[in-house]
Structures are given as C-alpha cells and as structure tokens.
Structure 1
Amino acid sequence: MPLAPRSPLLLAGLLAGAGVAHLAAPKPFDATIPRVLPGSPRTWTYASGAVELALAAGVALPRTRRTAALATAAFFVGVFPANVQMAVDWRRRPAPLRAAAIGRLPLQVPLVLWARNVAGNARS
C-alpha cells in the first residue's frame, strides 16, 4: 500500500498512542504543563489525552477526516507551549534528556504539516 493512503491511519495511530500514554502514565506529562495554566496539571494531562483519542478517531474515519485533521494541526500548535516548558525545565538534566526536550520543539512543524496534508487530501 502506498504511503499516502496509510498516512491518515498512521497519524491516527500516533494520536491514539499519545492519548493512551497520557491517560495510562500521566505523571511525566504533568511536568510539561505550563505553570501559567489554571487548575491541576493532571487535569490538563487527562484532557489532552482525551482530545488526542477523539482526534485519532476523527482522523481515522474518512467522513470526519478533513475536519479532524485540521483540528489536529491546531492541537499540535496549541501544545507547543508544553514542549517549550519541557525544554526550559529540562535544561539542567543529563545531555540525552536535554537533547530530547529540545528536539521536540522543531518536531511540531512536521506534525502540523502532516496533519494539514491529511486534511488537504481528505475527501470533502
């Protein structure tokens, strides 16, 4: 199967995996929640996991794929501050962890572009 038809399902799988991880093992994600957000970091972690699962379902279904993929692109932009928070908080951690935190920052760009591509290729 060529990559293009699988691309939405791969994106849905990535979202589903991230959503399950947020719900099953929330502690590491809690630490990435920007402190300026109101409420408990755990609430934000669970909410983002639930959103990722909903987006995964939407991207997986052809009927909702375009809208869900556009929402996914917006979601990836919206969680960027958590990645910045992680990079700031981890600046004194061992080099591999620091590198992983910093490496997440530019990773958002291809994720946003991937979601937009899925939306653009979806049937209206």
Structure 2
Amino acid sequence: MSRRSSRLLGIAIAGTGVAHFVAPGAFEPISRKPFPQDTRRWVLRNGATEVAIGLAIAGARTRKLGVVGLAAYGAWLASRMVAAR
C-alpha cells in the first residue's frame, strides 16, 4: 500500500471514530447487540479506539503498530458480534 493510500485509510478510520462523538446515536443501533449494557459508553470507547488506530495508520512511523491494532480491534469486535448471537 502506498504512503498516500495508507494516510487516506488512516484519516478515514479516524474520521469514523470522530463521527462516534459527533453523532453517537447513529452508531447505537449497530452497537446495541454486541454491547447491550452501557451502549452509549461503548460507542464512545469504540470511537476513541478508531481515532487512535486511524491516526497511527496515518503516521509513517506508527503505521505498523496501527495495522496491528486494527487487526486486533477487528478481531475483538468480531468476537463480540459472534458472542452476541
């Protein structure tokens, strides 16, 4: 992946994280099943995580750590979805 593509991906992920704070109600229906208790709090936590991961991916020196974080975060979210079934 090129430096520019990585930076754009990171900014997009961070932007999605910021959207969790700007419009948390939009994320609550998606988050309610895997996070049935304190859903709003989890929406905000997930937003903060996405901002951190996105910024890490956008930066050249932290990109590898950001990609590892994204993989771990994706696996954790998937496990929450499966457990909620």
Q: Considering the TM-score relative to the shorter chain, is it more than 0.5?
A: yes
Q: Is the 8 A contact 1:31 1:41 kept in 2?
A: no
Q: Check 1:63–1:41 CA distance in 2 against 1; reply closer, same or farther (3 A cut).
A: same
List gaps (5 residues or longer) in structure 2.
Answer: none
Structure showing greater radius of gyration is 1
Question: Hey, what does 2:67 align to over in structure 1?
Answer: 69
TM-score normalised over the length of structure 1: 0.56
- Please tell me whether residue 25 in structure 1 is matched to residue 31 in structure 2: no
Indicate which of 52, 55, 58 corresponds to 1:57.
55
What is the aligned length?
82
Distance in 2 separating the partners of 1:6 and 1:43: 33
What's the offset of the Cα at 1:78?
Answer: 2.7
Is the partner of 1:62 in helix, strand or coil? coil
Is the partner of 1:37 in helix, strand or coil? coil
Identity, in percent, stands at 32
Distance in 2 separating the partners of 1:30 and 1:38: 10
Distance in 2 separating the partners of 1:68 and 1:18: 15
What's the offset of the Cα at 1:6?
Answer: 1.3
What's the offset of the Cα at 1:16?
Answer: 1.3
List gaps (5 residues or longer) in structure 1.
Answer: 89-124
Q: Is the 8 A contact 2:28 2:43 kept in 1?
A: yes
Structure 1 residue ranges, 4+ long, deviating more than 4 angstroms after superposition: none
Is the partner of 2:2 in helix, strand or coil? helix
Question: Hey, what does 1:8 align to over in structure 2?
Answer: 6
